[in-house]
Amino acid sequence: MANLKDLRAKISSTKKTQQTTRAMKMVSAAKLRRAQDSVVNARPYALKLRSFIQKLASCPEVSHPLLDSSPIKGKTLLLVLTSDRGLCGGFNSGINKYTVQYASQKSKNDFDVIFLGKRGADFFRKRDFPTIDEIHGLAKTISFDVAQEISERVLKSYLGGEYSEVRIIYNEFKSAISQEVIDERLLPVSLEGGSNEDYTSTDFIFEPSIQSMLDELLRKHFAIQVFRCLQESVASEHGARMSAMENATKNAGEMISSLTLNYNKLRQAKITTELIEITSGAEAL
């Protein structure tokens, strides 16, 4: 049985932990808001760009290697998006679990992985994975430039024929308290769904040529896709951390109240025994 002093120390340390988790929750909530805004702001651009490409691609005279969706023969490049820091509930473990499962269905020569975010990279370092690169420090600055750099690199190896497919695994931002692991194909670009309008109906002027424009647009589209996934992932991370810290704060509160109850009980028992001792001492006289 713990003595009073131990209990007191435990209560005060739990209180301090609670303070930290509460502060972390507040910080995440603020960051989440910003990240959420940027996710929402980026959407119209991505949608417009997509409809642009769809319309261009429907012209009969165009074709492009990035659009070629013949059956996949070669290697797959996997981009795995995690966070750099922990303490965010199931955010990273969900991704890691999915990736392990994905890998178990394929042979090691079928795919290569680029880890974006430290957590995923750390997890798989010991697991003998075909990792070709790790990129860290994404959460601090999700600028379009970073996304463009990544996308240009991936495009280069894709167009060089190294890979025949590029997939991304990331957490999609559903709401502040829920996120979902998504496995999405980035390349070749699939254009299913969306509008059926095209540029063939009206007599259009294209400057410069339609082919070179499509090429640029597709590159841009890919960069935007990467950018969007990064943003979604960062927003989810903050959301996940916020709810994890919220839970931690609540649990700490429960622990404090049960510890305090114990402490009071013990204190009272001690007083009672002291009183009995005094009265029985007095009786003996």
Partner 1 sequence: MGLELTLVTPRKKIVTDLPVKNVKVPGFRGELDILEGHAALVTTLSTGVLEYKEFGTEKVGHAAISWGYVEVIDDKVTILAETAETAEEIDLKRANIALEGARERMKNTQDLLREQRKFERAQARIEAAQTRKH
Question: Catalytic site residues?
Answer: 88
The CB-of-139 to partner 1 minimum distance in angstroms stands at 18
Choose the stretch contacting partner 1; rule: CB under 8 A; options: 10-18, 77-85, 178-186, 202-210: 202-210
Choose the stretch contacting partner 1; rule: CB under 8 A; options: 12-20, 62-70, 103-111, 209-217: 209-217
Are the C-beta atoms of 173 and 157 separated by less than 8 Å? no
Residue type, 51: S
Q: How far apart are CA 285 and CA 283, in angstroms?
A: 5
Choose the stretch contacting partner 1; rule: CB under 8 A; options: 17-25, 90-98, 173-181, 205-213: 205-213
Characterize the bridge pairing of strands 163-175 and 75-81.
parallel
- Name residues contacting partner 1, limited to 161-200 (CB under 8 A): 199
Among 56, 80, 154, 186, binds partner 1 (CB under 8 A): 56
Choose the stretch contacting partner 1; rule: CB under 8 A; options: 40-48, 110-118, 127-135, 168-176: 40-48
Which ranges in 126-188 belong to alpha helices (H)? 144-159
- CA-closest candidate to residue 188, choices 78, 58, 64: 64
Residue type, 245: M
Are the C-beta atoms of 72 and 164 separated by less than 8 Å? yes
Q: Which residues contact 240 (CB under 8 A, 6 or more apart)?
A: 88, 89, 90, 91, 171, 179
Among 16, 33, 34, 48, binds partner 1 (CB under 8 A): 48
Among 62, 182, 191, 213, binds partner 1 (CB under 8 A): 213
- CA-closest candidate to residue 187, choices 82, 64, 94, 100: 64
Among 11, 42, 191, 255, binds partner 1 (CB under 8 A): 42
Binding mask 129-168 for partner 1 (x = CB under 8 A): ---------------x------------------------
Considering the rule CB under 8 A, would residue 229 count as an interface residue with partner 1? Answer: no
Are the C-beta atoms of 67 and 57 separated by less than 8 Å? yes
Considering the rule CB under 8 A, would residue 207 count as an interface residue with partner 1? Answer: yes
The CB-of-200 to partner 1 minimum distance in angstroms stands at 11
- Is 134 or 198 the residue whose CB approaches partner 1 more closely? 198
- CA-closest candidate to residue 79, choices 189, 230, 240, 258: 230
Give the Cβ contact number of residue 248 at 10 Å: 19
Per CB under 8 A, residues contacting partner 1 are 38, 41-42, 44-46, 48-49, 52, 56, 144, 199, 202-208, 213, 216-217, 224, 227
